[in-house]
């Protein structure tokens, strides 16, 4: 029924010799309901889509096409490569990244590092370290003061970088900031992720490199073949402990990574520091800090049977982060003084002024 037929019927109805009430009721019927039935077949139900671009959700600006994960932190839509980052093919030494067998000046140092690491990281050793460093009684300082301490630190496990660690922190943070400008928590996560390397310094007990850096792996269950230089586990006593050397070992399937004892180093230490000092960073940030060296999981896909649902969600962020951690390593220096005010503002937002270490 078209609007014309409708108004015509309305006119006829008004001319009928019946009471004014019936006329009014008919008019209402024809005017409002008939056109609705008439158009019923053509009707499409439209639900308005809120335009989230530029809108703040829990203090975070949204970009279009973003999903919101737990805690209100937006999950960016990724392209096939997991973000806009253009990963270089070769490192500063002209080799491909994380090639642990390539002949280079660093290869021997790195392999010797993993030999010692694999012999000495045991279930008992880690338990002792977590207890000792969990006390956070070494010193008090701000996040930025800690960044500056890393000026002194060079990581012997890394085949791709021999620059002081503060360079690496800023390179990672600046690279991720460029691609994810609105996720400020991710910029700060990048800045702090390796701060735990201060364990190498005298005021932190001057731990040997094998107890601070390098890839991490679980203790209390079998050492997966994907772990770099796996062969050196033959001299680790846990290899021969029947409670520890099976796929699940002391764990249950799906128990969640937080219940898994990881090899001791800068990841777990910095996680403890951030958590115990009451950071307001989201759980994905703490997950990144804690497991960023767990290449057997996030690169090789080993140990996934130990993850729970929350781990699986957080792993998506870790995999985004990892690209920047790895491929931003270069000899190009960041102008520290120029970017410092920005990072100081983030530190102020997510951390107390002084932290216990
Ligand atoms: O050599 C590197 C370096 O120590 C990194 O900081 C760590 O996160 C990596 O996993 C490791 O392989
Ligand atoms: Fe690291
Ligand atoms: Fe790193």
User: Which residues neighbour ligand 3 (ion) by CB within 5 Å?
Assistant: 194, 325
The region of weakest confidence among 9-13, 44-48, 130-134 is 44-48
* Contacts for 303 with CB less than 8 Å, ≥ 6 apart: 217, 218, 221, 224, 260, 294, 296, 297
CA quadruple 61, 322, 294, 353: dihedral positive or negative? negative
Cα–Cα distance, 274 to 281 (Å, whole number)? 9
For the chain, the C-alpha Rg in angstroms (whole number) is 30
Judge whether 64 lies within some domain: no
Instruction: For 104-175, list the strands marked E by DSSP.
Output: 140-141
98 annotated as ligand-binding: yes
Residues 139 and 205 in one domain: yes
Find the residues whose C-beta lies inside 6 A of ligand 1.
Answer: 155, 157-158, 194, 213-215, 292-293, 295
CA quadruple 310, 158, 109, 271: dihedral positive or negative? negative
Residue pair 285/189 in contact (Cβ under 8 Å)? The answer is yes
Residues 132 and 178 in one domain: yes
The CA–CA distances, whole Å, from 289 to 293, 315, 318, 325 equal: 9, 12, 9, 11
Question: Helix, strand or coil for residue 61?
Answer: strand
For residue 196, what are its two tokens? Answer: 């735990």
Quote the ligand 1 centre to 22 CA distance (angstroms).
Answer: 84
Quote the ligand 2 centre to 193 CA distance (angstroms).
Answer: 6
Question: How many domains does one find in the chain?
Answer: 2
Residues 151 and 242 in one domain: yes
292 annotated as ligand-binding: yes
Instruction: Give the rounded distance of the alpha carbon of 309 from its chain centre.
Output: 15
Q: Which has more confidence, 40 or 356?
A: 356
Residues 28 and 91 in one domain: no
Burial code (b: 16+ CB inside 10 Å, e: under 16) for 223-241 equals bbebbbbeebbeebebeee
For a mutational test of ligand 1's pocket, the pick from 97, 98, 117, 158, i.e. the residue with the most ligand atoms closer than 8 A to its C-beta, is 158
Judge whether 150 lies within some domain: yes
Band of residue 308 on the pLDDT scale cut at 50, 70, 90: very high
* Contacts for 343 with CB less than 8 Å, ≥ 6 apart: 144, 147, 173, 187, 188, 191
Q: Report how many helices (DSSP H) and strands (DSSP E) the chain contains, helices first.
A: 13, 6
Residues 30 and 83 in one domain: no
Q: Which has more confidence, 119 or 331?
A: 119
117 lies in which domain range? Answer: 78-356
Cα–Cα distance, 300 to 343 (Å, whole number)? 32
Residues 99 and 22 in one domain: no
User: Which residues neighbour ligand 2 (ion) by CB within 5 Å?
Assistant: 194
- pLDDT tens-digit series, residues 15-26: 434 344 544 544
Which residue's CA lies nearest to atom 8 of ligand 1?
293
Judge whether 99 lies within some domain: yes
Residues 18 and 88 in one domain: no
Residues 179 and 249 in one domain: yes
Residues 82 and 153 in one domain: yes
Quote the ligand 3 centre to 68 CA distance (angstroms).
Answer: 27
Quote the mean pLDDT of the chain. 82
Judge whether 67 lies within some domain: no
Residues 226 and 352 in one domain: yes
Quote the ligand 3 centre to 282 CA distance (angstroms).
Answer: 19
- pLDDT tens-digit series, residues 230-255: 999 999 999 999 999 999 999 999 99
Judge whether 63 lies within some domain: no
- pLDDT tens-digit series, residues 40-71: 222 222 222 222 233 233 333 333 323 233 33
Atom of ligand 1 nearest to the CA of 160: 1
Judge whether 124 lies within some domain: yes
Quote the ligand 2 centre to 170 CA distance (angstroms).
Answer: 13
Residue pair 75/57 in contact (Cβ under 8 Å)? The answer is no
| ipTM, two decimals | 0.97
Residues 35 and 89 in one domain: no
């Amino acid at each position: 029924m078209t609007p014309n037929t409708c108004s015509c019927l309305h006119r006829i109805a008004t001319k009928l010799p019946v009471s004014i009430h019936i006329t009014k009721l008919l008019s209402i019927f024809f005017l409002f309901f008939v056109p609705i039935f008439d158009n019923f077949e053509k009707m499409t139900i439209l639900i308005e889509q809120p335009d989230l671009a530029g809108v703040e959700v829990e203090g975070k600006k949204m970009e279009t096409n973003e999903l919101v994960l737990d805690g209100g932190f937006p999950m960016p839509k990724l392209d096939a490569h997991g973000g806009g980052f253009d990963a270089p093919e070769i490192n500063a030494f002209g080799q491909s990244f994380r090639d642990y067998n390539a002949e280079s000046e660093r290869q021997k140092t790195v392999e010797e590092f993993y030999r010692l690491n694999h012999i000495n990281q045991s279930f008992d050793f880690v338990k002792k370290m977590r207890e000792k460093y969990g006390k956070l009684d070494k010193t008090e300082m701000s996040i930025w003061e800690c960044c500056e301490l890393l000026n002194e630190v060079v990581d012997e496990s890394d085949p791709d970088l021999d620059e002081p660690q503060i360079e690496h922190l800023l390179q990672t943070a600046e690279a991720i900031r460029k691609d994810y400008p609105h996720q400020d928590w991710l910029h700060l996560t990048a800045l702090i992720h390796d701060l735990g390397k201060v364990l190498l310094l005298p005021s932190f007990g001057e731990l040997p490199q094998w107890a601070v850096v390098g890839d991490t792996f679980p203790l209390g269950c079998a050492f997966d073949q994907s772990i770099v230089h796996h062969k050196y586990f033959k001299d680790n006593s846990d290899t021969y402990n029947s409670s520890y050397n099976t796929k699940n070992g002391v764990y249950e399937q799906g128990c969640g990574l937080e219940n898994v004892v990881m090899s001791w180093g800068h990841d777990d230490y910095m996680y403890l520091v951030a958590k115990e000092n009451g950071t307001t960073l989201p759980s994905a940030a703490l997950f990144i800090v804690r497991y960023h060296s767990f290449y057997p999981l996030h690169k090789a896909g080993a140990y996934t049977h130990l993850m729970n649902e929350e781990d699986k969600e957080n792993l998506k962020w870790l995999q985004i982060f990892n690209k920047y951690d790895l491929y931003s390593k270069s000899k190009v220096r960041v102008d520290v003084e120029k970017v410092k005010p920005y990072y100081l503002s983030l530190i102020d937002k997510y951390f107390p002024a002084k932290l216990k270490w």
